[in-house]
Amino acid sequence: MVGLPARGKSYTARRIERYLSWLGYRTGVFNVGEYRRARVGSHVPHSFFDPDNPQGDEARKVVAMAALEDMVHWLKDEGGQVAIYDATNSTRARRTMVRARCEQAGFQVLFIEMSCDDPNVIEANIRSTKLSSPDYENTDPDEAVADFRARIAHYERVYEPIGEDEGAYLRVTGAGRGLMVSQVDGYIAARLVFFLMNLHLTERPIWLTRHGESVYNTNGLIGGDPDLTPDGNLYAHSLADFLDDRCPDRSGVVIYTSSLRRAVQTAAPLGRRSWPWRALDEIDAGVCDGMSYEQIQEQLPEEYAARKRDKFHYRYPRGESYQDIIFRLDPVIIELERTRKPVLVIAHNAVVRALYSYFQGVPRDRCPHLPIPLHTVLELKPHAYGCHEVRVPLEPQLGAGSTMSRHPPS
């Protein structure tokens, strides 16, 4: 990462880590600020960052090298695949040192420069994220802002934007409004270009929900394309009330459903345009489609045992695994990141688990075991350091004959 403070470097680094980890790459972030806080302390004055302060300059070099060496060790000896060196790297000399050490160890280097001159964006970043950092814990907000602005000024005095002769780089400008690409090579780097083209800082809710209760839910069967039960239809109307309350502007929300009937029927009472998307269809159970887990255990005991051993990688015969679902959901994630309006996704158990895992950074092996109950909306609000979550059960309006609790999530 490259850029002045308060330009979104750490935010972008964390989003890249989450995205690549979700896709299956072992990804780690090495944040030099955390190394500095651990070795020097959190409460250091802005003068520590003054380039004319020899003691501060030397201390910052020491922690930068410590983070860099730990990163190289992690990649070489601990199975790391993608490492993100999160620091200002604000001078050509520092970037030359980083690139030389990585290339000496045999690693490809890509610089991602965050460039933003919008004072409103910078001010918002200072107040929303920097004031909550350990550097300014128990500090008067106005004093903290003044100190941090002075810290930025120290970096501005020596900052050198990336040059064409410094190798592969991406330059993100205007808080995600522009992207410049130079000498980028390789699949992962190309994926990052596409990802960063769609990343933005706009806060908005993302609502995830399973379809209403279906006929297969009541019979304990998996897969298929069944209709909703009466209670499933009641949930669809409860969902419509929920959406009207949260987003009265009928054109102010984007709605995606799977292409299967139970999801499309759940969206029908919303009274708003929805977009069916086959990528959101439930996991393909292959030869087990339409069976119960009891039937699978009895008729296909080896498959049942294999699924129990490793639910994430297990692939139904002629069907899919959770890993397959993540691969086909990649364009959905890009679309959800791109969209600046509130979004409602009506899908299925395995699919909602996979989407939720992305937004909350859940390890892949835990994904198949996440509890995603029927008739519940998962309200996610992405922010700089993660994602706020509220679960909203909409069960009170269900009929007395609801059977959804009889069948645990698959």
Active site residues: 86, 116, 211, 282
Select from 69, 77, 67, 56 the least CA-distant residue to 29: 67
Question: In angstroms, how far apart are the furthest CA atoms of the chain?
Answer: 75
- Pseudo-torsion of CA 390, 219, 345, 266, nearest 10°? -110
Select from 214, 234, 231, 212 the least CA-distant residue to 223: 214
C-beta separation of 214 from 229 below 8 A:
yes
Cα end-to-end distance, the chain, whole Å: 41
Q: How far apart, in whole angstroms, are the C-alpha atoms of residue 214 and residue 221?
A: 10
Determine phi and psi for 225, rounding to 5 degrees: -135, 60
Helix (H) or strand (E) holding 27: strand 27-31
Strand, helix or coil for residue 204:
coil
Across the beta sheet with 386-393, the strand order is 275-276, 254-257, 343-347, 206-210, 376-383, 386-393
Cα 256-210-353 angle, rounded to 5 deg: 95
Cα 156-95-72 angle, rounded to 5 deg: 130
- Cα→Cα distances 299→250, 270, 291, 296, Å: 49, 41, 10, 5
Q: How far apart, in whole angstroms, are the C-alpha atoms of residue 59 and residue 90?
A: 16
Determine phi and psi for 170, rounding to 5 degrees: -120, 135
C-beta separation of 115 from 3 below 8 A:
yes
